[in-house]
Amino acid sequence: MAQPISQYLPPSTPREVRAGYEAQFDLLANDILASSVTYMEFIFSDALVLPALQQPFSRGTIKINTTSAFNYPVIDPRHLSNPLDLALFVASFEYARKIRNTDAMKAINTTETYPGPSVTTKEQIEKFVRGGVNSEHHHAGTASMLPRKLGGVVDPELKVYGVRGLRVVDASIVPMLPGAHLQATLYGVAEKASCLFDSKRLPR
């Protein structure tokens, strides 16, 4: 899958971070048609069928706002900044309609109310997606465990590059979202970290 990757990243993206994203893009592009990798989740609630993108190509930013560490940073998720995500949402929207039209869903007398059956063309669906896309709040990757040359912040032992005595154990170290919700993954990260810390303790 060929794409001018740099075109869809912020102009201020550091060279190392750009290289890291290019490596991630290659992995995502290679896996997009694999049956073993989940790209979309369909959330069911009563008669609601909600597509949720698990492996986005778009990348957001988080930047300091002032010189005070107590002020909130400026966060821009940059949803749909890569057009591949919009294409995935459009395809998933159409598939969600197929699900709604199955005999099982028809049996509970479902009726599409949002956005409504009048939304049919690709352009209409794209407009609907752009106006309604939101976050599942599975944010990650702001302090990725990657080599420094790929924009990494922590090493395999969770140590922050260039800072003595500081480790990070949270969702920020995950460089790419798994094809699932983050909670269980982070339980595993925390358990791995506890074993790592325990192995580094001085003998009693």
Q: What positions carry a catalytic annotation?
A: 138, 181
- Residue 75 DSSP SS3: strand
Residue 95 identity (one-letter amino acid): Y
117-122 CB contacts, 8 Å cutoff, 24+ apart: 122/90
- Residue 6 DSSP SS3: helix
Q: Which residues pair with 36 in a beta bridge?
A: none
61-63/48-53 β-pairing: unpaired
Query: Under 8 Å CB-to-CB from 55, ≥6 apart: which residues?
Result: 28, 31, 32, 37, 38, 39, 176, 177, 179
